[in-house]
Amino acid sequence: MTDDVLVVRAQLGERAALAELLSRWRTPVWVYVRRMLDADRADDVTQEIWLSVVRGLPRLRDPGRFAPWLFTIARRSITDRLRGEYAQAEETPVAGDAVVDDPVEAMVDRAALVSVLSELPVLEREVLVLFYLEDLPVDVCADICRVPAGTVKSRLNRARHLLREHLEEKGYRP
């Protein structure tokens, strides 16, 4: 069954359709959020995303646009969390931020990539994750980020350049 059919059925109150939709998109959403935040924050933000989805699903006008709508909610939730943390950090400066290690990512290459991704600016990291890791087309990335497709392309170009620089600094050669 396609996502748009599941959306319509969920909008009509069918709980099984909603459960199937949430089950289908649970992992992609968590992975996207996890690539933008650490594991603890990713869990919290993911729960907020699903609450927003369940509350907002009845108002979704175009069921065929579920994925961009979902990732827009995810992006907004991530941005809100980061904005709140930045504001709080400015109010109460902390001496030295602790780095959160994720024991699941023990493989050296993966750890290096995750480390380098976290060093990228948020806007570049976001389009890199959406385009390459979530396999979304440029126009959908543009819709989610609420920028023109050309801006997504330039951010991707800058992200690739920065990623290459950071990997070379760490001793990895493409």
pLDDT beyond 70 at 5: yes
CA of 144: how far to CAs of 59, 106, 138, in Å? 18, 31, 10
What distance in Å separates the CA atoms of residue 135 and residue 145, rounded to the nearest whole number?
Answer: 15
Q: What is the reported pLDDT for 93?
A: 47
Q: What is the reported pLDDT for 129?
A: 85
pLDDT beyond 80 at 139: yes
Better pLDDT: 128 or 94: 128
pLDDT beyond 50 at 104: no
Q: What is the reported pLDDT for 98?
A: 43
State pLDDT tens for residues 151-168.
999 999 998 888 888 878
Angle subtended at Cα 164 by Cα 174 and Cα 31, rounded to the nearest 5 degrees: 100
What distance in Å separates the CA atoms of residue 75 and residue 133, rounded to the nearest whole number?
Answer: 15
pTM beyond cutoff 0.85: no
What average pLDDT score do residues 107-125 get? 72
**Scanning the structure block, which residue is given the tokens 């990623």?**
163
Q: What is the reported pLDDT for 16?
A: 95
Task: Judge whether 127 and 156 are in contact, CB under 8 Å.
Answer: yes
Tokens of 120: 């990228």
Better pLDDT: 93 or 114: 114
Task: Judge whether 163 and 116 are in contact, CB under 8 Å.
Answer: yes
What average pLDDT score do residues 12-33 get? 94
What distance in Å separates the CA atoms of residue 65 and residue 81, rounded to the nearest whole number?
Answer: 25
State pLDDT tens for residues 52-86.
999 999 999 999 999 999 999 999 999 888 887 76
Compute the CA torsion angle 163, 31, 118, 81 (nearest 10 deg). Answer: 140
CA of 170: how far to CAs of 25, 160, 163, in Å? 34, 15, 11
**Alpha carbon distance, N-terminus to C-terminus of the chain:** 41
Three-state SS at 168: helix
Q: What is the reported pLDDT for 166?
A: 81
